[in-house]
Amino acid sequence: MEVFETTGIGSIELKNRIFRSATYEGMCDDLGFPTTQYYEMYEKLARNEIGGIITGFAYISDEGKAMQPGQAGIDNDSKIPYYQKLTDIVHKYHSRIFMQIAHTGRQTKKSVTGKEVVGCSAKKSIYFNEKPRVLTTNEVHQIIEEFGNSARYAKESGFDGIQLHAAHGYLIHQFLLPSVNNRQDEFKIDKTSKINTRFLDLVVDNIRAKCGDQFPVLIKISGSDDYYRKFDEQQFINLVQFLNTKKLDAIEISYGTMDFALNIFRGDLPVDLILSRNPIFNSGPFYSRVFKKTIALNFFKVKLKPYSPMYNLDYASIAKKYTSIPIISVGGFRTYHEIEYAIKDKRIDFVSLCRPFIAEPDFLVKLMHDRNHKSKCMNCNYCAIMCDTNNRTMCYKN
């Protein structure tokens, strides 16, 4: 397998084995409509030879909105013409574009969304610290419909497929995890597999029913997490085997939840920036800020995993053994040689990158011309921390 060879996902042809992984843009208006900056950013990526682009997570309903103010929405059909404009731009360059769709569940803030925070259980996220109202069984079925509707809006907007965000602690992930899901209804944790796949199962079926079997459905999952009751290797294998039965079109393997968000990204912990700009750490009464600055921040520090190249590749290799669905590895690819190693030596189908494309939208073209070019991304994580403020996503160092 070669990095720069034409290949495909489902019926869709891709010009190489590289994806831009989902990256929150912060470039939409208050109602989740794209702005000019959003179109320009995607045009820049498409013009620079990326095979497949996955958008930042887009909310499927107001209730599923993130606390980031500039998030994109795919919650109703009035948005279709605005995304049609986007997909037309990307297709001009023969690049493919997939919309990542998500419901945040407990990982959001009522003070920002104005909506009650809901979850599959009443368990709070450590980071967001809001007690969710437990979704009733009927409401869960309604959210399944909303996932299907959003996928249909994406299809009608000309996207080449969608990616379900089932990683990083968002709602689909919350249902999968026994450390979060303590339900007793049809969505409870299965005693044998020790995960709950029913929610995901019905979401996928609903999407297929509304979009047809030919419309590519990708998924992003986390190989493990940092909770006390850690998602173990057997649970991960059970999840991959379940996805195999659903015949999804690609599985992207990431890590973790937003409770320990820096373990999703890895790299520096910019303490001063967090304390001055993060809305969770720099708000509240004086004593609470002092607590967060000392105890809470140190708690997160102890849990930090160091950056290493290709840091999720082992999970991707495990997944590869249990499914014939194409696997995408994300996390810590900064050189051509690392990408080539994953694809050629480890037989991973695709590699996806986030921060290198924030630092250099033309990173891939640079690799095409110079196999020794190294990403300018220094894993400073300013881009990730600034996501939670009112700013659009950009590189703060280059």
Contacting residues toward ligand FMN, per CB under 6 A: 21-24, 56-57, 100, 165, 167-168, 220, 254, 264-265, 330-333, 353-356, 383-384, 387, 393
CA atoms within 13 A on the CB side of 316: 27
Structural tokens at position 182? 């303590």
Smallest gap from residue 241 Cβ to ligand FMN (A):
22
Is the Cβ of residue 143 or residue 354 nearer to ligand FMN in the bound state?
Answer: 354
Smallest gap from residue 356 Cβ to ligand FMN (A):
6
Is the Cβ of residue 171 or residue 189 nearer to ligand FMN in the bound state?
Answer: 171
Is the Cβ of residue 70 or residue 183 nearer to ligand FMN in the bound state?
Answer: 70
Report the alpha-carbon distance of residue 36 to residue 377 in Å, rounded: 25
Smallest gap from residue 307 Cβ to ligand FMN (A):
8
Report the alpha-carbon distance of residue 166 to residue 143 in Å, rounded: 14
The string of DSSP codes covering 354-388 is: SHHHHH-TTHHHHHHH-TT-B-------HHHHHTT
Burial zone of 301 (CB within 10 Å; 0-12 exposed, 13-18 middle, 19+ buried): exposed
Is the Cβ of residue 245 or residue 398 nearer to ligand FMN in the bound state?
Answer: 398
Backbone angles phi, psi at 90, to 5 degrees: -65, -40
The gap between the terminal CA atoms of the chain, to the nearest Å, is 33
Smallest gap from residue 349 Cβ to ligand FMN (A):
17
Is the Cβ of residue 71 or residue 183 nearer to ligand FMN in the bound state?
Answer: 71
Smallest gap from residue 250 Cβ to ligand FMN (A):
14
Report the alpha-carbon distance of residue 282 to residue 291 in Å, rounded: 11
Is the Cβ of residue 17 or residue 165 nearer to ligand FMN in the bound state?
Answer: 165
Report the alpha-carbon distance of residue 208 to residue 211 in Å, rounded: 5
Is the Cβ of residue 152 or residue 173 nearer to ligand FMN in the bound state?
Answer: 173
* Residue 205 neighbours by CB distance under 10 Å: 13
Query: Contact, 69 vs 59, CB < 8 A?
Result: no
Smallest gap from residue 251 Cβ to ligand FMN (A):
13
* Element holding 58 (H helix, E strand): strand 58-59
| Selection from 343, 347, 270 nearest residue 3 by Cα | 343
* Element holding 12 (H helix, E strand): strand 12-14
Smallest gap from residue 170 Cβ to ligand FMN (A):
8
| Selection from 173, 196, 207, 187 nearest residue 98 by Cα | 207
Buried b (16+ CB within 10 A) or exposed e, 77-90: eebbebbeebbebb
Is the Cβ of residue 293 or residue 392 nearer to ligand FMN in the bound state?
Answer: 392
Is the Cβ of residue 151 or residue 387 nearer to ligand FMN in the bound state?
Answer: 387
Smallest gap from residue 254 Cβ to ligand FMN (A):
5
Smallest gap from residue 264 Cβ to ligand FMN (A):
6
Smallest gap from residue 6 Cβ to ligand FMN (A):
23
Is the Cβ of residue 281 or residue 357 nearer to ligand FMN in the bound state?
Answer: 357
CA atoms within 13 A on the CB side of 389: 17
Report the alpha-carbon distance of residue 329 to residue 339 in Å, rounded: 9
